[in-house]
Structure 1
């Protein structure tokens, strides 16, 4: 079932969504990307910037000989001020003659309007993690908080609903009410709806278990959306019981664990325990080290020539693609083509800062054959 819809409700990218977007092809495909303010009076700037970018999209459509009415459904967003009060760090709007998809990004996006036969996915590519940043989920049966850890300090991450308490997320119920029906709960502003289905009798242990499952599922949804496509590992801080239930209830991948109840520790003790857990982790061999791109090129099993990479990607030969994060480069359009073709063929795509690229390259690929 397609995850691309015509509703003007932003969603977070999930696993597989980027490939689905890459498989979108139409005449025309319109991509509008923008940074957004998530709180405070600055949110009033969101619709202003959007209107400017929408106008730019219409001009590009007209210049290319396309019907500008394709983006008319987006016009209503410019006056929906509640919509702009509930944004994340960035927003991407993708429009084709048949589909419209709005994507909330968990990082700031550059202002960009692109009209072509594919979507502009370059800014949404997964960030290569250099190992110096981790997400930390502090989880108890009573509270859930997500942090970024840079090795020294913990910075609280605010999602649509996190940080939150158990009672913030679980709908109070009459213990006599049967749980045979589906329970719906909306949270976190525009479009943030979660559904939990339970099959118990609303009493005793069954009710406690169902409520805990709902709580952990909602926490898991928030965490998964925030960390997806960042390339940043997740450290779970929880007791053995809570951690076991969390991993059994959700599909969130946990990279390291700190056993214990974070509610009993000071901030300093939490930082020290997280730091120790990270240092105890063996290096993850599931992703190729940056140096392996240079090694593959030296062994004629890869390339840093953009034209060669674009052709190889179209033929399904690119296993892993690494691009610089500088979208202002004159070759950015070809980079986007390489990204789209690599994703379509099941390859892996990463981006990293220009100063971290091996051999000062702007794009590198490892070939399958």
Structure 2
């Protein structure tokens, strides 16, 4: 599964040479997977028809579609799908994404890619770290809502024993007082079943080395970090931590007994409310403006289209699973809206999302009944 990222969408937003084909299809992950290539073939036939209407000759069509045709015959490709498949093809670009989201069937042929069905995957999403600590190992992972990947750590100690070997046991026992440990000095605090290496002082020094070693990986980041470890280790690490975005809530339990996916699942439950907070704030702000009749918001498509094109929109809310077909002429701001898709039309909702994202605005793609003002689109203007 190759999850779409914000960077992928930004690349899809770039101006393309010639015609662009965007195909969306629901997929079967198990069971009747034979339906997958059949469903896709039917959508591709519709795209071919649209391309011929745009003036493609038979030999041009064959060359243009060759990247898609290559994997169309790959049975393994169709047997290993997620919930939805999105395919993008232009003269110089070909991308496909298997997504954990069931798209409705859609074929779009125009001078740009159709990206609106992808946007729900980014709502409430964001990057975060998981730091799994134990006396035997340190693992740093980076996750999003749907993905998690372990970061290859260089220069980070592999475990408590490695720090002891590097620094020497006597030094570890002395690091708090700066003097040799003798009878009557502060008693060591032991963990686990044995004495020796498992003193609190040693563990604390171990985590100091880990924290310092992780600095190169975290110093330019401002994303949440979730700590995972047994209950007595978590507060010790927090005492020495210098990363300002370490969350108070952590994952308790030995991370060595949890799979990467299980750690990801537990961490996502902790960070999810943080990522959805920006959506909640934006919705509340828009609703408040609407109730006051402020002109800084609008739920009228005819007002939002030119504002999107001219870079006036800060935040856009757009309905998923709905298209508004028509055309927009930026020269005179003329807008034509049709009930059905006619030749030369574009989805005007997708057009607005496209323009806002290109100009560094924020777009939330939501279910129709959650859009402010009970509309299919709403916008907060920059001015």
After TM superposition, is the score higher than 0.5? yes
Q: CA deviation at 1:127?
A: 5.8
Q: What are the ranges of 5 or more consecutive residues in structure 2 without an aligned counterpart?
A: 164-205, 211-222, 258-262, 327-345
Mark the structure with the bigger radius of gyration.
2
1:99 is aligned to 2:93: yes
- The structure 1 residue matched to 2:20, chosen from 29, 51, 69, is 29
1:335 is aligned to 2:349: yes
- Cα distance in 2 for residues equivalent to 1:73 and 1:60: 18
- Cα distance in 1 for residues equivalent to 2:269 and 2:74: 47
Q: CA deviation at 1:299?
A: 1.0
Give 3-state SS (helix, strand or coil) of 2:65's partner.
Answer: helix
Q: Kindly tell me the number of residue pairs found equivalent between the two proteins.
A: 282
Q: Is the 8 A contact 1:256 1:281 kept in 2?
A: no
Q: What are the ranges of 5 or more consecutive residues in structure 1 without an aligned counterpart?
A: 1-9, 145-156, 163-168, 170-193, 214-232
- Cα distance in 2 for residues equivalent to 1:329 and 1:255: 42
- Cα distance in 1 for residues equivalent to 2:273 and 2:44: 49
- Cα distance in 2 for residues equivalent to 1:289 and 1:201: 43
Q: Is the 8 A contact 2:124 2:272 kept in 1?
A: no
1:13 is aligned to 2:27: no
Q: Is the 8 A contact 1:22 1:344 kept in 2?
A: yes
Q: So what's the TM-score if we normalise by structure 1?
A: 0.60
Q: Is the 8 A contact 2:117 2:321 kept in 1?
A: no
* Matching of residues 194-343 of structure 1 within 5 Å: 196=152, 205=162, 236=226, 238-239=228-229, 257-261=249-253, 284=277, 288-297=281-290, 298-328=293-323, 333-343=347-357
- Cα distance in 2 for residues equivalent to 1:118 and 1:201: 49
Q: CA deviation at 1:84?
A: 1.8
Q: So what's the TM-score if we normalise by structure 2?
A: 0.58
Q: CA deviation at 1:301?
A: 0.5
Q: Is the 8 A contact 2:323 2:347 kept in 1?
A: no
- The structure 1 residue matched to 2:75, chosen from 75, 81, 89, is 81
- The structure 2 residue matched to 1:59, chosen from 7, 30, 49, is 49
Task: Tell me the C-alpha RMSD between the 2 structures.
Answer: 5.0
Q: Is the 8 A contact 1:35 1:108 kept in 2?
A: yes
- Cα distance in 2 for residues equivalent to 1:275 and 1:31: 31
- Cα distance in 2 for residues equivalent to 1:280 and 1:25: 37
Q: Partner of 1:47 in structure 2? A: 37
Give 3-state SS (helix, strand or coil) of 1:289's partner.
Answer: helix
List per-residue Cα deviations over 1:167-187 (Å, max 9, x = no partner). xx9xxxxxxxxxxxxxxxxxx
- Cα distance in 1 for residues equivalent to 2:155 and 2:71: 39
Aligned pair in 2 of structure 1 residues 275, 84: CA closer, same or farther (>3 Å)? Answer: closer
Q: CA deviation at 1:73?
A: 1.8
Q: Partner of 2:108 in structure 1? A: 114
Aligned pair in 2 of structure 1 residues 340, 68: CA closer, same or farther (>3 Å)? Answer: same
Q: CA deviation at 1:358?
A: 2.4
The list of structure 1 runs, each at least 4 consecutive aligned residues, that deviate by more than 4 angstroms after superposition, is 127-131, 137-144, 194-204, 233-237, 240-245, 253-256, 262-265, 273-283, 328-332
Aligned pair in 2 of structure 1 residues 280, 17: CA closer, same or farther (>3 Å)? Answer: closer
List per-residue Cα deviations over 1:307-331 (Å, max 9, x = no partner). 2211111111111110122325557
Give 3-state SS (helix, strand or coil) of 1:321's partner.
Answer: strand
Give 3-state SS (helix, strand or coil) of 1:326's partner.
Answer: coil
Q: CA deviation at 1:61?
A: 0.5
- Cα distance in 1 for residues equivalent to 2:156 and 2:284: 53
